[in-house]
Chain A
């Protein structure tokens, strides 16, 4: 049964963790896409930025969380979300909006967003350097070990505190987003603008306001995803390039402009990654006696080595673009 525990630790839990992070990131990308019709490449750097803000505030008030009994980074998350939301609005006002009003092709705004990516990366590394840092400055990352009630399983299931909070926050974010998009006036206006921007304007919807709300959502969700990723592993200033591909793959798999699709896509990409780098020979060894004598089970039976993790989202992306460019949930036809 230890093998099963191993599987749960390395696939079920770690897939859920990266899936949640990709899902939250992909929601932001897909929202920006459906409202402003361009692929926002600077999204991953807004994630890094948000995490950095949390880190800075945690470094400033390292003991603040202990007083309330929660990890300090978690306490600082709302502040970072607000700051990142403002950053997102500011970036749009200074860089994207003038181009949009100039009526350029969407791909030009995509390039501009790459310029913004570089600016953010430069700033982040200018202030934070390039080394990775732990988000837990004065605290210890709490690790839960759950022993299995079987005699055969001697090893526990391991899950950390940030992983649990991440999964809870993801569920909350999804419910919140669902309620926002279906129950509130602003949420419906966002859906309307994603459906038919011209008619939204004609209906008297203030499209500029919708754009601002979109950036608030995208920015704060980005800060959340970046913070949880950094809490789970560590804060690495140049993590963004490795996040971009899985997040875009998730958004496209789910169907661009389709928030629920982005969530499903995030988990799909997350689980595909962990399943591909998982060493299956560990599970097969248990059932070795089923195989004929001459068959040896190689020690390494992972589909790809962990150094090639990035190939997985790319492969998914290509497969979707070839067979179903609108995504599995039929997103926007674009």
Chain B
């Protein structure tokens, strides 16, 4: 039984299908990375899984139960977390309030989870009374990840977590993602920095014009000369 199993997903905005039959399967111990050219439907696929884009065909199963077109707050209750690419914090609220909002559906665990998040992202502890909008880019990303982890999800979806970050922070974020995964959280993310992301990926999905082009382990994709030539910039 896979944690997440999406088969032949079709969907998009306003009746126009951007996804034309995408397959994706993720287990608890997986880090899945979706790569591909602009407009391939990478983010759309992530949003379709999280109920933010209408799914018109195929099916999406979470632990063998269909979650097709479920409302996002239902999916959070089922143990999924989603980190959007941009605008992924509440800028005028403090860091701590941001994290509390993550645990909105599980208020009784807030206290213990706050401690765990602070020990996982120590910089956030000292900034916890500051409005999140005043933090640096990397710290904002930590707030965003912390917020999503507050519900102790079993599957975390990340939309380009390293977009706009300096290489130093990028490595830091990837390290954190690996750590989160080791703690038993399945990861599915879209990445523009394909090479570095595939390094840590157990599963890689190359999408092009709304369809799977290649599906393999990250390492195999990196070594595949075809993939390297077309999608990883040689």
Contact = CB atoms under 8 A, between A and B. Distances in A.
A195 B93 contact: yes
A68 to B, nearest CB: 38
Interface stretch (B102-110, B121-129, B166-174, B192-200): B102-110
A201 B73 contact: yes
Interface stretch (A183-191, A294-302, A317-325): A183-191
A189 B73 contact: no
Contacts of A196: 87, 89-91
Nearest to B74: A204
A199 B84 contact: yes
Interface in B85-115: 87-93, 97, 100-102, 104-105, 107
A202 B84 contact: yes
A200 interface: yes
Given A188-B101, A192-B101, A201 B72 contact: yes
B205 interface: no
Interface string B59-81: 00000000000001100110000
Nearest to A191: B93
Interface of B: 50, 52, 72-73, 76-77, 82, 84, 87-93, 97, 100-102, 104-105, 107, 147, 151
A205 B107 CA distance: 12
Contacts of B73: 201, 204-206
A76 B121 CA distance: 53
Given A189-B104, A203-B101, A205-B73, A198 B90 contact: no
Given A203-B76, A204-B72, A204-B76, A195 B92 contact: yes
Q: Is chain A's interface secondary structure helix, strand, loop, or mixed overall? A: helix
A205 B90 CA distance: 13
A309 to B, nearest CB: 34
B72 A199 contact: no
B153 to A, nearest CB: 10
4 smallest CB-CB distances across A and B, nearest first, come from A204-B76, A195-B90, A204-B73, A204-B105
B104 A204 contact: yes
7 contacts: A185-B104, A188-B97, A192-B97, A201-B73, A202-B52, A204-B73, A204-B76
Given A192-B101, A199-B90, 4 more contacts: A189-B104, A198-B87, A202-B50, A204-B72
State which size class the interface on A falls in: 10 to 19
Contacts of A206: 73
Nearest to B107: A185
Contacts of B102: 203
Nearest to B151: A204
Interface string A198-227: 111111111000000000000000000000
A200 B84 contact: no
A203 B87 contact: no
B51 to A, nearest CB: 9
Interface in A152-201: 185, 188-189, 191-192, 195-196, 198-201
Interface string A51-69: 0000000000000000000
Contacts of B77: 204
Nearest to A185: B107
Given A185-B107, A199-B87, A203-B76, A192 B93 contact: yes
A113 to B, nearest CB: 26
A204 B82 CA distance: 10
A150 B93 CA distance: 51
B114 to A, nearest CB: 14
Given A185-B107, A188-B100, A202 B82 contact: yes
Contacts of B105: 204
Interface in A68-109: none
A200 B104 CA distance: 10
B107 A199 contact: no
A77 B82 CA distance: 44
Contacts of A201: 72-73
Contacts of B84: 198-199, 202
A57 B73 CA distance: 42
